């Protein structure tokens, strides 16, 4: 009992001490609250993360005119490893191994790397294992984990030693959007691509960046009046979808044909170069200005813009060499849209514009005749200049239509003299040359300094301008202007997007065709259609006619100035079908890799023919012409069928056509009587050029000498073509 009393006495003392300590503890809490309360309150609030999570928006898709996806943003997942969760779970670290196994099995990651990382960073909370995982891959992993764990749970029911499960909280997925282009290289220049941070680059992606971009949503915390932390979510606003005027099928046909041409002629004349420096094709609906296809070569892969593996090593080397040895710049060079961002001298295709303006002004009339002696001298005294025709003998006495069909320089210069400088420039502006077309694509070139104006245009400049030399144009300008010639004279602004939709598919904006002005009268337009049909029927463009169809068009061969006389830009610009023009097509081959200009022009025509042969049936435009056996065989080889409807073409119309053809050819033969006597070289039997005595082909009158140019004086010396823009002083990029 002594012990108990002793204990009780001391217990009272101990209890008293404990009580004192309790009071002291309360005192401690009070002092902390009193002395540091305000400071700590602020500290606590300051530590909170108020804008923690960004919810990414989905960039709008780009569709073709039929709703086919050209570009869309796909939800992808970043795989995040939380080592802290993995190493601190209640499995005593045993769940680490099955988790690593699951990750390496389903996501294809190296297990030993993972093990090392977890060992070295057991507390790391945010480690990105892999990026851009597809939804399927993520689901695959989640299913695997769920199945595995269910299996283990089942086994553990009977097992003494529990098997570890996969830690399903240690791996989580963060979603993101990735821009995907299902067509890969399809319409690459027109569409453009996006940078990693979602900014559009080139083409539609850049031009419509604001429409395509949405607004990021956000999940964030804020403090209420009672200093309570609330979290709230503002959902992301997704970007708008573009419905373009592009038709994927037509686009694809154009690209394939361009590629075929370029691969066929790669390295043909200049080693390690493609079939051409650039090849471009635009197909446009002439009644609306809608662009159905815009293709160019070289191309690139939208999903991997830096990839150059589709070109041969030699070609890549050559490209890098041209980009001053900068591989990056060479790659960037591929992104440039030739159709809108590069200018060139258009050549003879512009004769249609010169003739059209002269007819519209009334200074010439259908049937007016001009005499071509093979060259034209103008100016006086020392400033006398001679410019020659392609046909060195001269085309003789020809009417306006034949001048266009034969692409006679002399006749065009005579017409140009009638038009005069002021009117020529006025019409040129009306046709939008020198101005941007404002097509809805990023990077359209400014050409205002590349055409002549009242101050810079002299007689020689006017003369060369009549047949498309001396000034520069872009493809889009030319085809837009040409469309106005063949649609009744109405100039439409070319455009690529016809509808903007929101992310639910509701229409935000319809983009209607925009007719800017009437450039020529309907009468003139009809005449131009007739002339252009003549070009293909019996003129320079016969090769461009697709089997079973009748089309109109105009060829062009421009000498590239300042690059030596060997280089040309060849082109064919046409419309189809002849009886009711619907579409315009413009094919440009810049510096074809072929030996002679004559060949180049032929290839432009053939390219057009190849494309139209497939595009016209697709567009439900029926054949109107009888097929020759050779053509039937050709179509068979292409795997196509004649769309020649027996009803659509009556015997009469065919015979009419043939009659008219006959009559034209009769006229032609009359016109073709040369006014200049052909001198035959007695030694070689060749025809001799009357001016510089070069040997000529006795049939065509074309020079045999590849170095020959229409810009030569009597001694064979080159005459400088006056340029609106001096290519030698290429210091400023004319593209703004």
What sign results for the dihedral spanned by CA atoms 460, 462, 467, 468? positive
In angstroms, what is the minimal distance from the CB of 116 to another protein? 19
Closer residue to another protein in complex, CB, 15/653? 15
Strand partners, 385: 378
Separate counts of helices (H) and strands (E) for the chain: 22, 26
Closer residue to another protein in complex, CB, 14/654? 14
Strand partners, 210: none
Burial (CB < 10 A; 0-12, 13-18, 19+), residue 730, is: exposed
- Pairwise CA distance, residues 518 & 285, whole Å: 17
What is the CB neighbour count within 10 angstroms for residue 229? 12
Q: Where are the alpha helices (DSSP H) in 176-236?
A: 188-191, 203-207, 209-212
In angstroms, what is the minimal distance from the CB of 734 to another protein? 57
For tokens 């700590």, what's the residue? Answer: 40
* Interface contacts to another protein, rule CB under 8 A: 1-4, 6-8, 10-11, 14-15, 18-19, 21-22, 25-26, 28-30, 32-33, 36-37, 39-41, 43-45, 47-48, 88, 90, 92-93, 169, 227-229
What is the CB neighbour count within 10 angstroms for residue 158? 6
Closer residue to another protein in complex, CB, 32/53? 32
Based on its alpha-carbon atoms, the radius of gyration of the chain, rounded to whole angstroms, reads 37
In angstroms, what is the minimal distance from the CB of 37 to another protein? 5
The packing angle between helices 459-466 and 421-430, to 10°, is: 40
Burial (CB < 10 A; 0-12, 13-18, 19+), residue 190, is: buried
In angstroms, what is the minimal distance from the CB of 160 to another protein? 9
Contact 55, 218 (CB under 8 A): yes
In angstroms, what is the minimal distance from the CB of 144 to another protein? 19
In angstroms, what is the minimal distance from the CB of 5 to another protein? 8
Q: Which two tokens stand for residue 85?
A: 């969760």
- CA of 281: how far to CAs of 357, 478, 557, in Å? 25, 12, 16
For tokens 């046709």, what's the residue? Answer: 431
Closer residue to another protein in complex, CB, 88/626? 88
In angstroms, what is the minimal distance from the CB of 83 to another protein? 13
- CA of 248: how far to CAs of 305, 407, 499, 671, in Å? 20, 34, 16, 45
272 CA to centre of own chain: 24
- Give the 3-state secondary structure of 448-510: HHHCCCCCCCCHHHHHHHHCCCCCCECHHHHHHHHHHHHCCCEEECCECEEEEECCCCCEEEE
Closer residue to another protein in complex, CB, 40/306? 40
In angstroms, what is the minimal distance from the CB of 132 to another protein? 26
Closer residue to another protein in complex, CB, 36/660? 36
In angstroms, what is the minimal distance from the CB of 190 to another protein? 48
In angstroms, what is the minimal distance from the CB of 89 to another protein? 9
- The closest of 485, 349, 356 to 407, measured between CA atoms, is 349
Closer residue to another protein in complex, CB, 11/507? 11
Closer residue to another protein in complex, CB, 82/255? 82
110 CA to centre of own chain: 40
Closer residue to another protein in complex, CB, 42/365? 42
In angstroms, what is the minimal distance from the CB of 29 to another protein? 5
- Pairwise CA distance, residues 668 & 155, whole Å: 95
In angstroms, what is the minimal distance from the CB of 124 to another protein? 15
In angstroms, what is the minimal distance from the CB of 13 to another protein? 8
In angstroms, what is the minimal distance from the CB of 75 to another protein? 22
Closer residue to another protein in complex, CB, 11/233? 11
Q: Which two tokens stand for residue 603?
A: 């290839």
Closer residue to another protein in complex, CB, 84/565? 84
In angstroms, what is the minimal distance from the CB of 289 to another protein? 57
Closer residue to another protein in complex, CB, 17/507? 17
Length of the chain: 736
Closer residue to another protein in complex, CB, 15/66? 15
- Pairwise CA distance, residues 446 & 428, whole Å: 15
Interstrand relation of 241-244 and 62-63 (parallel, antiparallel or unpaired)? parallel
Helix (H, G, I), strand (E, B) or coil at 301: strand
Closer residue to another protein in complex, CB, 30/146? 30
Closer residue to another protein in complex, CB, 43/658? 43
Q: Where are the alpha helices (DSSP H) in 343-474?
A: 351-361, 400-406, 409-419, 421-430, 459-466
In angstroms, what is the minimal distance from the CB of 41 to another protein? 4
Closer residue to another protein in complex, CB, 90/683? 90
- Pairwise CA distance, residues 115 & 111, whole Å: 6
- Rama region for 93: left / alpha / beta (φ>0; ψ in -120 to 50; rest): left
DSSP 345: -
Phi, psi of 486 (to 5 degrees): -105, 0
Contact 178, 200 (CB under 8 A): no
In angstroms, what is the minimal distance from the CB of 52 to another protein? 11
Closer residue to another protein in complex, CB, 23/116? 23
Closer residue to another protein in complex, CB, 172/269? 172
Who contacts 589 (Cβ-Cβ below 8 Å, separation ≥6)? 261, 275, 276, 278, 279, 569, 570, 571, 600, 603, 604, 607
- Pairwise CA distance, residues 466 & 453, whole Å: 14
In angstroms, what is the minimal distance from the CB of 150 to another protein? 16
The packing angle between helices 459-466 and 409-419, to 10°, is: 120
């Amino acid at each position: 009992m002594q012990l108990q009393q002793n204990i009780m006495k001391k217990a009272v003392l101990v209890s008293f001490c404990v009580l004192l300590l309790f009071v002291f503890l309360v005192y401690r809490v009070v002092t902390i609250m009193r002395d540091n309360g305000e400071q700590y309150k602020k500290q606590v609030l300051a530590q909170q993360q108020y804008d923690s999570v960004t919810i990414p928006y989905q960039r709008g898709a780009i569709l073709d005119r039929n709703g086919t996806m050209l570009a869309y943003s796909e939800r992808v997942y970043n795989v995040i490893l939380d080592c802290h969760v993995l190493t601190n779970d209640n499995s005593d670290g045993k769940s680490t191994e099955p988790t690593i196994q699951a990750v390496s099995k389903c996501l294809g990651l190296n297990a030993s790397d993972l093990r090392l990382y977890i060992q070295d960073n057991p507390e790391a909370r945010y480690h990105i294992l892999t990026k851009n995982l597809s939804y399927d891959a993520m689901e695959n992993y989640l299913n695997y984990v769920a199945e595995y764990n269910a299996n283990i749970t089942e086994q553990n029911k009977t097992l003494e030693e529990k098997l570890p499960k996969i830690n399903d909280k240690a791996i989580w997925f963060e979603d993101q959007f990735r821009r995907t282009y299902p067509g890969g290289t399809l319409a690459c220049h027109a569409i453009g691509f996006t940078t990693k941070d979602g900014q559009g680059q080139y083409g539609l992606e850049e031009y419509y960046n604001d429409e395509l971009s949405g607004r990021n949503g956000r999940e964030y915390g804020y403090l209420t009046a009672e200093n309570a932390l609330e979290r709230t979510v503002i959902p992301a606003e997704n970007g708008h979808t573009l419905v373009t005027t592009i038709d994927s099928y037509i686009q694809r046909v154009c690209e394939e044909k361009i590629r075929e041409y370029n691969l066929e002629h790669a390295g043909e004349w200049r080693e390690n170069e493609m079939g051409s420096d650039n090849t471009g094709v635009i197909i446009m609906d002439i009644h609306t200005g809608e662009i159905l296809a815009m293709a160019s070569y070289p191309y690139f892969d939208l999903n991997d813009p830096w990839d150059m593996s589709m070109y041969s090593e030699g070609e890549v080397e050559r490209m890098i060499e041209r980009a001053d040895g900068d591989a990056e710049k060479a790659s960037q060079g591929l992104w440039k849209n030739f159709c809108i961002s590069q200018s060139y001298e258009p050549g003879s295709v512009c004769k249609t514009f010169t003739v059209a303006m002269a007819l519209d002004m009334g200074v010439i009339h259908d049937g007016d005749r001009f005499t071509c002696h093979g060259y034209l001298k103008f100016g006086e005294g020392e400033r006398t200049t001679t410019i020659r025709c392609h046909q060195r003998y001269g085309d003789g006495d020809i009417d306006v239509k034949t001048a266009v069909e034969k692409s006679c320089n002399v006749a065009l210069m005579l017409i140009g003299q009638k038009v005069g400088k002021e009117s020529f420039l006025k019409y040129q502006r009306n046709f939008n040359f020198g101005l941007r077309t404002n097509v809805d694509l990023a990077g359209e070139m400014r050409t205002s300094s590349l055409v002549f104006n009242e101050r810079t245009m002299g007689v020689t400049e006017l003369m060369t301008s009549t047949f498309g030399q001396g000034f520069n144009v872009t493809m889009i300008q030319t085809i837009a202007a040409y469309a106005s010639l063949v649609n009744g004279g109405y100039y439409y602004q070319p455009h690529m997007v016809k509808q903007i939709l929101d992310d639910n598919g509701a229409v935000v904006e319809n983009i209607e065709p925009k007719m800017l002005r009437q450039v020529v009268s309907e009468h003139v337009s009809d005449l131009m259609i007739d002339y252009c049909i003549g070009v293909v029927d019996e003129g320079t463009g016969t090769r461009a006619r697709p089997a079973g169809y009748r089309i109109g068009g105009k060829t062009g061969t421009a000498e590239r100035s300042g690059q030596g006389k060997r280089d040309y830009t060849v082109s064919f610009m046409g419309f189809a079908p002849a009886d009711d023009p619907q579409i315009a097509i413009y094919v440009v081959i810049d510096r074809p890799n072929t030996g002679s200009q004559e060949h180049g022009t032929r290839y432009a025509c053939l390219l057009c023919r190849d494309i139209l042969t497939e595009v016209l049936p697709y567009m439900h435009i029926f054949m109107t012409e009888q097929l020759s056996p050779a053509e039937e065989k050709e179509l068979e080889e292409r795997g196509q069928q004649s769309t020649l409807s027996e009803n659509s073409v009556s015997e009469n119309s065919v015979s009419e056509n043939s009659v008219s053809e006959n009559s034209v050819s009769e006229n032609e033969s009359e016109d073709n009587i040369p006014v200049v006597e052909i001198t035959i070289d007695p030694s070689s039997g060749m025809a001799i050029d009357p001016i510089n005595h070069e040997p000529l082909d006795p049939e065509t009158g074309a020079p045999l000498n590849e170095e020959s140019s229409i810009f030569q004086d009597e001694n064979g010396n080159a005459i400088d073509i006056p340029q609106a823009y001096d290519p030698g002083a290429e210091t400023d990029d004319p593209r703004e």
